[in-house]
Amino acid sequence: MSARSPWRHLLYKNLATISLSGDVIDLGGSRKSAYYKNFKGEFSLAVANMDDDTKDITVDLEQPFPIEASKYDHVLCINVLEHIFNYQNVIHETQRILKPGGQALFAVPFLIQVHPSPHDYWRFTGETLNRLFSEAGFTQVTVEPIGTGVCSAIVQMKSNLLHFHFLRHLASWLAFTGDAILARLYKKPTFSKEFYTLGYVIKAKK
């Protein structure tokens, strides 16, 4: 397994604080993904995808989902939304298939190289994501920036050049340490994760 980039390292750390329960569907995911083991709680998981051989439900995320309304307690969509041209369909259909009081949990990268899978269409700011989910009818929308500051942003954009595991680990450690030092030296948010966001975790209630 390759060493994680700063984005994935910090994202998985964030996901480890989240507890899931009941019926959960992962849009565009795979049972081979490493992030499932980070979640707390007991839950029943269904994977929705077009091509992945671990999927439970065949779903074209560009089209209305063949899933009944108000079915799931949680809907996951991790590192997927940027690959979907009709991204508003994903957000609106997520709202439809959630049970009342259910929660959507999305993770969307921001400072990351182009990475087709098989396409790569979008980068969303936190302000955009907040508005998209609010206008889709969600409540209690929170959009959390993921990162530590300018140093982690630099390493994130260069991480593909670091082919050896120990170099990635060392670069990430130096970046996180550098950002901690900058945060102590500069009280203004100029070098902070709000200005140099690696990506966002979105939580939204139906």
pLDDT for 182 equals 94
pLDDT digits (tens, 9 = 90+) for 27-56: 999 999 889 989 999 999 999 999 888 899
> Within a domain: residue 29?
yes
CATH of the domain at 25: 3.40.50.150
pLDDT for 159 equals 86
Beta bridge partners of 76: 26, 105
> Within a domain: residue 23?
yes
| Count of domains forming the chain | 1
pLDDT digits (tens, 9 = 90+) for 137-196: 999 999 999 999 999 999 999 988 887 888 889 999 999 999 999 999 988 888 999 999
pLDDT digits (tens, 9 = 90+) for 67-121: 999 999 999 999 999 999 999 999 999 999 999 999 999 999 999 999 999 999 9
| Band (3; pLDDT cuts 50, 70, 90) | low
In what side-by-side order are the strands of the sheet with 98-109? Answer: 57-58, 43-49, 22-27, 72-78, 98-109, 199-205, 139-146
Contact 43, 24 (CB under 8 A): yes
Question: Is the per-residue pLDDT at 2 higher than 60?
Answer: no
- Average pLDDT of the chain is 95
> Within a domain: residue 95?
yes
> Within a domain: residue 182?
no
pLDDT for 194 equals 94
Q: Report the alpha-carbon angle 123-20-80, nearest 5.
A: 20
Question: Is the per-residue pLDDT at 131 higher than 80?
Answer: yes
> Within a domain: residue 113?
yes
Question: Is the per-residue pLDDT at 1 higher than 50?
Answer: no
Residue 66 is part of which domain span? 6-147+198-205
pLDDT for 13 equals 96
> Within a domain: residue 189?
no
Taking the model in full, what pTM does it have? 0.94
Contacts of 42 (CB under 8 A, 6+ apart): 21
> Within a domain: residue 42?
yes
pLDDT for 51 equals 86
User: What is the maximum alpha-carbon separation in the chain?
Assistant: 53
> Within a domain: residue 14?
yes
Contact 148, 194 (CB under 8 A): no
Element (H, E) at 120: none
Of 124, 109, 27, the closest CA to residue 76 belongs to 27
